Structure 1
Amino acid sequence: MNPELLQKYIAGNATEAEKQRVTEWIQENPENMREYMAQRKLHDMALWRTEPVAEENSRERKHFSLRGVCMEAAKIAAVLAIVLLGTHYWTGKHQVPEDKTWQSIYVPAGQRAELMLADGTKVWLNSRSTLTFPGSFKGNIRNVKLDGEGYFAVTKNVEQPFIVETNKCNVKVLGTEFNVMAYAADSVWETSLLEGAVEILVPGSNNSGMRLEPNMMASLKGNRLVKGRIKEVDYFLWREGLLCFNDISVRDMIEKLKLYYGVDIVVNNTRILKNRYTGKFRTKDGVEHVLKVLRLNNKFTYTKDDETNVITIN
């Protein structure tokens, strides 16, 4: 891929024909997708060095050097609540001790976490997600339970498949990289495969599971699994602390903000709901920062009740 064309695409200046070329290249193989995501990350880091929107109060302005962002990307911006013999709190990466006790990690609203399981599998957890897992894997399978969203880089072991159990479907793998979105409180269920192979199993169903190939995704529509190609490669940047929206309706955008930040948003100004938006935000900047940027192109005001954690858009 021509580096100049790739940068042009990332900057949002590509023509429709050029966008098609880059999209096809990204979908050819996982290495291309990794290269794209790496270049996109560098581009976003550079953007972080610019000034915030003019509407922000100057006292709140912050400057970020590339070195500082790289250091921050290496950290884990979450407080992990490990339920073992009581509750303990950590920040930073956490390696699971090798014991037989089942543990649960919950990531608070607006945060994310990374951990390594006893078998070497790496897991990234998104906001308001809970992962339940054993301290060590025994028997014929390695199983964990997910309520929320997680990205898994599974250590290969053909003798001991890895299974992610969710409230709707289970995902079975041998060794691969994939994303699962399965919040129990949300109707959306989907998994996206970047590398390797996975099989999606519906508990209680007599049907054989659906297999996915790299750059494919599956979503649950009612009781039916639907397969398709990954369209939003930027989406996986949530692991780096970025919320990415690509031509999304304000209605759907608000639903995601409610989910990720654990806040109730009441929209009285319904005229804005059909408008569409494209942009990126750092998760740690909070929901109000997103709303301040959003209202630059959408006429609305909002108030927040800190006691009830309710935001009202008028």
Structure 2
Amino acid sequence: MPARRFDRDRVRLVRRRAEISQSEVADSVGVAESTVSGWEAGTSAPDQEKLPALAQALRQPLDRLFPRDGLPDLTDLRCDAGLYRKETASVIDMKSDGPVGAAEGGVRRLKDRYIEKLAEAYGVTAEALRRAQDRSFAKQSGDEEVGTVASPAKAAPEEAPRTLAEKITLMLERSYPQGAAPGDSEIAAAVNAHAGAEVISAAEIEDLRTGRSEDAAPVALEGLAQFFGVTRLYFEPDEAVARQVYEGLRLMSAAKQGKVGRVRARGMGAEGLPAGVLSILNDLATELEKADPDANNK
């Protein structure tokens, strides 16, 4: 099942509203006018590799015109770059596209020297490409259901997002009804309104969302957190969150032993943390003591 959804009715509607002829679309995409007519009539569908050019011809963002189901694997990234697999041979300076085909099929992982070249050609970071490769291998090994709904007893644990791009994508996919997710311009406007200044553009939001950039100012991340209704820690790297949790558990452990005063959450009133939260943290602190008895002496 294709990762991106092609809706012929939506394509026809967008084209007509923009007063773009089928002939103009065909010239822009590099196909015959009859091909575009067939796409809109439903007698055929464009290759996934053609969707970026089609979206550009219709002056629409790729993600808005052709939403993606789930996070991308290697094939998805290549198609989003508008490249057919045979074209990747020149990208990796090989006579054959075999290495790319093997990686997309979950047979053999890409060599490190191919990673940077493909990432640049696909317009993503090397880390984003490696994560996409992991998904390709997960699909091949059956670790995740593809195109089907697994029963609760058989469903594999969902892979937690790690990169900033994956976290933003997850929020867009899970927080809004299908087709109702906000665009990059809307997100940028909300972040700038929260900051009270122009701190990020729609193009920069797109770079963060697609993995072309992982560099965002703290004020921009705070605005994203406010917009999506999540804690600022959600957009922090896993290591930074883990470090804060560890320090918090050390503090709770010390509190249990009477080494520090009453623990209160930052920004809360005189009552401190809710009893339920304290209970959970105390249990975690006990586990910490078992695993690291000398934690309070560090």
Compute the TM-score of the two structures, normalised by the length of structure 2: 0.24
Higher helix fraction (1 or 2): 2
* Structure number with larger C-alpha Rg: 2
